[in-house]
């Protein structure tokens, strides 16, 4: 008499795929019942070999071990998520650089113009970085060249004035870069814009933390924070 392999297969599959504890326990009980029945009704002249019985017991023990491991990993994940949530809450109220190309221009109380910071992320050092700011119609309002920019994240500031020294109108502008090496070859560059962290919330899946940057920029994950200003 052989144990129904489909039962054993279901038990093994249940432990590895996160089957509900009640169902997994029920399958284990069915397995043990079948094993005991097999032992009670085996042919005395051809009994089950020790190796066969040991193998079957080892499989059911493996399932139990996997379930315990899953529970342990689940606990560790919850602790990591809680730690990540605490870490992210410390960013509330801080200004950060995140992927994006927007620049906001406004007027301070003393009448002078100002612009939000912006930045660039480079995989390799650049011999020259050309900065170009355009308005919503695509017209260039400001350009600048920065020499010797290291790899990594670099932030830049702008006073909200065009190259003639006149203040540009308040509003939203776009920034772009052209980074080149010493040979004049263009380098890959990611444009970064300013945002302020307004809140922290778990993601819908619960696997990570989302930072609320307001209605304009929406929510981002922690790994999208390139620099804290």
Hey, what domains does the chain have and what are their CATH numbers? 5-83 (no CATH), 99-195 (2.60.40.4070)
Q: Which of 91, 96, 148 is nearest to 122 (CA)?
A: 148
pLDDT at 183 over 50: yes
Residue 82, pLDDT above cutoff 90? no
**Per-residue model confidence (pLDDT) at position 6:** 46
Angle (CA) 132 134 138, round 5°: 125
Global pTM value = 0.62
Higher pLDDT, 26 or 141: 141
Note the pLDDT tens digit of each residue in 91-131.
899 999 999 999 999 998 888 889 999 999 999 999 999 99
- Note whether 157 and 209 are within 8 A (CB): no
pLDDT of amino acid 74: 64
Q: In angstroms, what is the C-alpha Rg of the chain? A: 31
């Amino acid at each position: 008499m052989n144990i129904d392999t489909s039962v054993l297969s279901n038990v093994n599959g249940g432990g590895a795929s996160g089957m509900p504890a009640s169902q997994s326990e029920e399958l284990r009980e069915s397995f043990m019942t079948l094993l005991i029945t097999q032992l009670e009704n085996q042919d005395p002249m051809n009994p089950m070999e020790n190796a066969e019985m040991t193998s079957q017991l080892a499989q059911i023990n493996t399932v139990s071990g996997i379930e315990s491991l899953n529970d342990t990993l689940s606990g560790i994940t919850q602790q990591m998520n809680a730690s990540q949530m605490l870490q992210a809450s410390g960013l509330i109220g801080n200004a950060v650089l995140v992927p994006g190309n927007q620049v906001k221009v406004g007027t301070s109380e003393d009448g002078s113009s100002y612009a939000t910071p912006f930045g660039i992320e480079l995989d390799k050092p650049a011999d020259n970085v050309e900065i170009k700011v355009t308005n919503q119609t695509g017209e260039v309002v400001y350009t600048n060249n920065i020499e010797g920019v290291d790899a990594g994240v670099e932030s830049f500031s702008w006073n909200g004035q065009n190259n003639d020294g006149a203040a540009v109108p308040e509003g939203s502008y776009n920034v772009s870069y052209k980074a080149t090496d010493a040979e004049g070859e263009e380098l890959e560059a990611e444009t970064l814009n300013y945002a302020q962290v307004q809140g922290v919330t778990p993601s819908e899946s619960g696997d990570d933390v989302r930072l609320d940057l307001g209605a304009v920029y929406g929510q981002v994950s922690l790994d999208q924070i390139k620099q804290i200003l």
